[in-house]
Structure 1
Amino acid sequence: MSRMIFVNLPVEDLGRARRFYESLGFTNNPQFSDGTAACMVWSDAIYVMILTHAKWATFTTRPIPDRGSSEVALCLTFDSRDEVNALVEAAGAAGGTVDINPPEEHDFMMTRSLLDPDGHVWELTWMDPAMASGEQPAQADA
């Protein structure tokens, strides 16, 4: 079995959260979804489990952080700057808060951030494939 990640997030309103993630391109896996949880699929290896507060409480007795705190920032990578910008705009239109941290723009990469309606922080990043693989940019002949 290949390695996968399941990110579990507590949400106040399961329907609202599901609609938000679907508007960003996640798809629902009904096999692992019910009235207390929804399995939102980003890729073959990345799944986001959105869980009602009651369902969350069956996994841990630790408190759910309030919307004003940040416990973790989740980062997704994209193939282009345009894809990052499009997803940020879709998130804003679907009820998320965009650019909660200042956007970062460099020649070889860019990052933007957003909050989902429950206050979970997502970073969206594009990096030049040559830089990501450790290659140096092409040098002009002297």
Structure 2
Amino acid sequence: MTITTYINLPVRDLSTAAEFFRSIGFDGEQPTPDGAAMMLSLNPTTQLMLHVASSFAEYTGVAVTDTSTSREVIVGLAAESRDRVDELVDRAVAAGGEALGDGQDSGGLYMRGFRDLDGHQWSLLHLGD
């Protein structure tokens, strides 16, 4: 059975957020009919849904988390190599994201992170080597 993951995030500006995520490897731009959300694809089983913050709050029934003071979630993605982890984080930073320090090597697990333009935290990791 194949399971597709949909990562849903509130954003301040759909087009700016979509441009950011395309710069680090997400593809496409499928807006919803009402224009309040947009779907991008990382691969066939990982989709990113960006929602205008007000629409996200309406959909969830709760206020959007203030990412400057708290974390709702950390999105973790595995990459095929340490170099790919570094490349993706470097691309995110070049596109305006915030680096979360140097890579951490914990004996077989290499990890680096960044915050996107809306403050959502992403962790990229490689298992192996």
TM-score (norm 2): 0.89
Q: Which is greater in Rg?
A: 1
In structure 2, the residue corresponding to 1:67 is in which secondary structure?
Answer: coil
Aligned counterpart, 1:136: none
1:109, 1:126 within 8 Å by CA — same for their partners in 2? yes
- Distance in 2 (CA, whole Å) between partners of 1:25 and 1:45 is 14
Residues 1-142 of structure 1: pairs in structure 2 closer than 5 A: 2-30=2-30, 32=32, 35-68=35-68, 69-99=70-100, 103-128=103-128
1:33, 1:39 within 8 Å by CA — same for their partners in 2? no
Runs of 5+ unmatched residues, structure 1? 130-142
- Distance in 1 (CA, whole Å) between partners of 2:34 and 2:98 is 27
Count of residue correspondences: 128
**Which has the larger displacement, 74-83 or 24-33?**
24-33
Q: How far did 1:32 drift?
A: 4.8
1:78, 1:124 within 8 Å by CA — same for their partners in 2? yes
After superposition, the C-alpha distances for 1:111-140 in whole angstroms (9 at most, x for unaligned) are: 0010000011100001117xxxxxxxxxxx
1:28, 1:38 within 8 Å by CA — same for their partners in 2? no
1:39, 1:48 within 8 Å by CA — same for their partners in 2? yes
Runs of 5+ unmatched residues, structure 2? none
In structure 2, the residue corresponding to 1:30 is in which secondary structure?
Answer: strand
- Alpha-carbon RMSD across the aligned residues, in angstroms, is 1.9
TM-score (norm 1): 0.81
Which protein is richer in strand relative to its size?
Answer: 2
Amino acid at match of 2:128: D
2:31, 2:37 within 8 Å by CA — same for their partners in 1? no
User: Share of identical aligned residues, percent?
Assistant: 32
